[in-house]
Chain A
Amino acid sequence: MTTLTAPGHAAAPAPAAPPRAASVFATFVGRSMLHTLRTPDALVMAIALPTMLMVLFTQVFGGAIAPGGGYVDYVVPGIILLCAGYGAASVAVDVATDMTTGVIDRFRTMPMRAETVITGHVVASLVRNLVATAIVIGVALLLGFRPSAGPIEWIGMGALVALYILAITWVFAAIGLAASNPEAANGYGFFLMFLPYVSSAFVPVDTMPEWLRWIAENQPLTPIIETIRGLLLGTYIGTSGWWALGWCAAFLAVGAVLTRVLFRAKAGRR
C-alpha cells in the first residue's frame, strides 16, 4: 500500500452488468480445476488406491480366487467403479471447505448464482475422474487385462462411467453440504466407498451367503458393474443395463436435488 496518492477510481460508481451464466460456470470450473492441480493429493489418491487394489486383487489374491488365471478380466470393471467413487469423494471435502470459509459469503453478495460454485466442483471432478479411470484402465492393460470390446462398446462403457461419476459426485456434493466441516464430510463419504465390496465387483455374488447375496444382487453397483463387464468382455448384460441407467439417474436426481435444497438451507438468507 504505497502508491495510494493518485485516486485510481476514475470511473463513477455504476451498477455492475451481471456476468453471463456461461462465464460464471466457466470461471468456477476453472477455479476447481486449479484447485485439483494445486492439491494433487485427491488425484493421486484417486489413481493410486484403485491401482494398488488392482495389483493386490490380481497378483496377491487372484491366484487363490481364480487358480486358472483370468481374474484380472473379472475384477477390472469393479475397480473402475471403485476408482470413480474414491475420486468423487474429495468433492465432499471441497464443498464443505468452501461452505465453512468466508468465500461463500462473498459469492453470495455478487450478482450471479452462487450455487454455480458447486457445479464447478462437480464438473472438475468429472474431468479428474475420467482421467484417473483412463490411467487405471491403462494399468489394467499392463497387468494383462484383455477386453473384447469394439469401439462402440468402449464408447458405451465410457458414457456409463461418466454418468456414474457425475451421479456419485452430486451425491458427494450433497454430503459436503450436509457435513458441518471438511473432516466430517470426509467421514460420511466412507460409507459410500464401502459399497463396491458388497457387490459383484470382486467375486460373483453366488459365492456369498444367502442373506448377503440378496443385498449384493440388489444393490445399485452390481448392475452397473455387470453392464461395464458385459460391454468390455462380452458377458451377458440382460436387464442390468436398464437397472444401471436407472440407478445412475436416481443417484443423479437425488444428489442434484439434495444439493439444491441443502445449498438453499445453508447459504440462503439466514
Chain B
Amino acid sequence: MDAITVRGIRKSFGGTEVLRGIDLDVSAGTVFALLGPNGAGKTTLLGILSTLVAADAGTATVAGHDVAHEPEQVKRRISVTGQAAAVDQVLTGRENLRMMGRLSGLGRADAARRADELLDRFGLVEAAGKRVGTYSGGMRRRLDLAISLILAPPVVFLDEPTTGLDTRSRQALWDEIRALTANGTTVLLTTQYLEEADQLADRIAVIEHGVVVAEGTADELKARVGGEVLTVSDAAGAVLAELPTDGTVAGLRRALAGLGNADAASVSLRSPSLDDVFLAVTGSPATREPELALTKD
C-alpha cells in the first residue's frame, strides 16, 4: 500500500516555478528520501503534503486522504518537523512537550507521561525545566523532533532533520527513524546528505529544479552510473579526474584513452557512490559541508 502518492504536482511562487510536475509513490512503513540541493523544491513539496501549501496543479494523498480536500483527515495522520525549530521559546522543554501533547489530543496525565519519556529519550532530562530560549541549536532541534514523535503517526515528515546535529545525535536520530518504520510508520525526509539517504532510505528521489531527475533504491541509482569509477590521482594523491566506466575492459580502455598525457598519474577503481549519481543526474556535485545546509531551502 502506498502511504503517499504524488501526481503531477506543480507550484509557483510569484512567477517562479518551484515544482514542475512531481510524481512519487511512497510505500507504507518505508523511509523515503528527497535528495537535492538548496532550492530544488524539497521543502515546498513537504509543505504541500503536510497541508501548509496549496498546489497549483496535480493531486497528492497522504495515508489515503487527499491533501487538498481532506486536510483535517491528513492532519490526524501526520507529524511535521520543519527546518525552523517549531518550538515555543518562552516555555521550558517539558512545557513544550506537554502543551503539544494536549494539542495532539492526549489527556493531561498522558501528555505529562509522554513528555517525560521523550525528554529521557532525546537526552533533554537535565534541560527539561529550562526555557527553550536558552537551548543550543542542537537541543532545540532534538526537542522539535521529540514533539513530532509524541504520537506514533502513520506518516512523519522530516525536513533536513539532522542539519545542525552532531554525529552522535545524528546516529541516534537514525536509530529513532528505523524504530518508527519498524512499527509501520512511513517517513518522508529531505536531505542534502548523500550518506544519510544511503544509510537510511529504502528509496531515494533526486530532485533538482522542481523535477524528479532520478528515483530508486541507493543500489539502483548507483547502478545507473555504471560498473566502476576510475579515479586518477597525481603523485601527491590529489584527485585529477573521476571517470565512470561500464565495468568492462573496453570501457576502461576508453576511459584511459580519454586521459591523454597523464602517464605519471596513478589510477584506482572504486564502486560508484551516491556522489557520482548526484553528479551524473544533476550535473553538479552534492553539498558536503554541513554549514551550507543551514540556509533555508
Contacts and interface: CB of A to CB of B under 8 A. Distances in A.
Contact of B77 (A16, A27, A31): A16
Contact of A8 (B80, B90, B121): B121
A102 B80 CA distance: 11
Contact of B91 (A7, A31, A269): A31
Given A34-B90, A109-B52, A3 B183 contact: no
A31 B99 contact: yes
Interface string B135-169: 00000001000010101111100000000000011
A107 B103 contact: yes
Given A13-B152, A38-B131, A103-B88, A269 B183 contact: no
Interface stretch (A18-26, A78-86, A167-175, A237-245): A18-26
B142 A1 contact: yes
A106 B80 contact: yes
A102 B84 contact: yes
Interface residues of B, number: 59
A27 B97 CA distance: 12
Contacts of B102: 19, 23-24, 27
Interface string B83-96: 11111111100010
A152 interface: no
Given A7-B183, A27-B99, A106-B80, A12 B75 contact: no
Most buried by A among B104, B105, B153, B183: B105
A39 B90 contact: yes
Given A13-B154, A13-B183, 7 more contacts: A1-B121, A12-B183, A38-B131, A102-B83, A108-B51, A110-B100, A270-B52
Interface of A: 1-5, 7-19, 23-24, 27, 30-31, 34-35, 38-39, 101-103, 105-112, 269-270
20 contacts: A8-B121, A9-B185, A12-B183, A13-B155, A16-B76, A17-B76, A19-B106, A23-B102, A24-B103, A38-B90, A102-B82, A102-B85, A103-B88, A106-B147, A108-B51, A109-B50, A109-B52, A110-B100, A111-B72, A270-B54
